[in-house]
Amino acid sequence: DAEITQSPRHKITETGRQVTLACHQTWNHNNMFWYRQDLGHGLRLIHYSYGVQDTNKGEVSDGYSVSRSNTEDLPLTLESAASSQTSVYFCASSESGREQQYFGPGTRLTVT
């Protein structure tokens, strides 16, 4: 069965460190998204990609970057982790922008 996976599921890191969160989907979807979930804010879009070599900034992109070298993967990098980036991160993919997005299980990141 097709799926979307994220790793690690939990990560604790120190302020200033570079961190990369992995996202892998086997749906063969062109569209991939990264969100963060915070209390009182719901899900907010960080970055998204509509295909290989395409990346776009979302509403809360500062301090984050992504790269898309193949269809299956969209890793999210925190260049220099900050305490404000402590959150739960979700990756998602979809066949089109209008259709439902399929979400991964999430990565809980704590920056100390």
Partner 1 sequence: DQQVKQNSPSLSVQEGRISILNCDYTNSMFDYFLWYKKYPAEGPTFLISISSIKDKNEDGRFTVFLNKSAKHLSLHIVPSQPGDSAVYFCAAPYYGGATNKLIFGTGTLLAVQP
Which residue(s) pair with 56 in the sheet?
48
What Cα–Cα distance (Å) separates residue 5 from each residue in 12, 13, 40, 59, 103? 19, 21, 26, 23, 9
What is the closest distance, in whole angstroms, from the C-beta atom of residue 69 to partner 1 in the complex? 21
* CB closer to partner 1 out of 8 and 16: 8
* CB closer to partner 1 out of 71 and 88: 88
Please give the residue ranges that form the binding site for partner 1 (CB under 8 A): 4, 31, 33, 35, 40-45, 48, 50, 56, 58, 90, 92, 96-98, 100-106
What is the closest distance, in whole angstroms, from the C-beta atom of residue 104 to partner 1 in the complex? 5
What is the closest distance, in whole angstroms, from the C-beta atom of residue 77 to partner 1 in the complex? 20
- DSSP label at residue 106: -
Residue 49 one-letter amino acid? S
* CB closer to partner 1 out of 8 and 14: 8
- Please give the sequence-ordered ranges of beta strands (E in DSSP) within 9-67, or none if there are none: 10-13, 19-25, 31-38, 42-51, 54-57, 64-66
